[in-house]
Amino acid sequence: MLFEEIASALAEPGWCVIPNFLSIDETAALRTECLAAHTNGEFHRAGIGRGVSSQQSEIRGDHVLWIDEAHAGQVLQDLLKKLEALRQAVNQQLFLGLFDAELHFAVYPPGAGYCRHLDRFQDDDRRTLTVILYLNENWTRSDGGLLRFWPEETQSPQEIEPLGGTLVTFLSDRFWHEVLPAHRQRLSLTGWFRRR
């Protein structure tokens, strides 16, 4: 069972990459939803941190739209069901006490990236598990936009292509990562499962 395999990978080594976690159709439907909202002007520049300490900066160049689960359409509801199955499998195997999720679409304009960082905020340690789902069509290496991911802080990073349908998931407090600038628009849906 896929969700249990993912949970095992999260137990050790703490991260995994799952190509085709979403089908081509699911990916296309989410991409359409993301682009429609983007065209509609619903996105805003992403900040760093939360609340008053949140600031925009050159650390990250993406634009985001937070997902409102209460008003999610069918496409998002189907995804939320899948993520709920993942949450339950992870809680059963790892006892992480994952409680809820915050999710956003992210659009990186050409040339935008996100400097090397950890996902857990200094002033809020609830973010526990990161999930990234790429929504890009026909991505090739020459498009750039690689996710650089350090399984060990002192070793060389993995380079993960943002291929549509791929899931990247990892323990939020442990792994340094960075988004290299892309030469075309780069789409994803990113979220964090939180404990209370």
Catalog residues that contact ligand OGA under the rule CB under 6 A: 106, 114, 119, 132, 147, 162, 177, 179, 188, 190
Within 10 angstroms of residue 34's Cβ, the number of other Cβ atoms is 21
Residue 25 backbone dihedrals phi, psi, to 5 degrees: -65, -45
Using CB positions, name the residue nearest to ligand OGA: 147
The residue count for binding Mn ion (CB under 5 A) is: 1
Nearer to ligand OGA, 74 or 142 (CB): 142
Question: Binding partner of residue 171 among ligand OGA, Mn ion, none, CB under 5 to 8 Å per kind?
Answer: none
Residues 118-157 touching Mn ion, rule: CB under 5 A, are 119
Q: How far apart are CA 81 and CA 73, in angstroms?
A: 12
Instruction: Tell me how far, at minimum, the Cβ of 82 lies from ligand OGA, in Å.
Output: 18
What is the C-alpha to C-alpha distance for residues 170 and 128, in angstroms, rounded to an integer? 9
Range list of H helices, the chain: 2-11, 24-39, 74-94
Q: What are phi and psi of 106, to 5 degrees?
A: -130, 135
> Considering only 14-22, 44-52, 65-73, 116-124, which stretch makes contact with Mn ion by CB under 5 A?
116-124
Q: How far is CA 64 from the centre of its chain?
A: 11
Residue 30 identity: L
x-marked contacts with Mn ion along 65-104 as a string, rule CB under 5 A = ----------------------------------------
Q: In the complex, what is the shortest distance from the CB of residue 112 to ligand OGA, in angstroms, rounded to a whole number?
A: 11
The answer to the question of residue 62 lying near Mn ion (CB under 5 A) is no
Beta bridge partner(s), residue 29: none
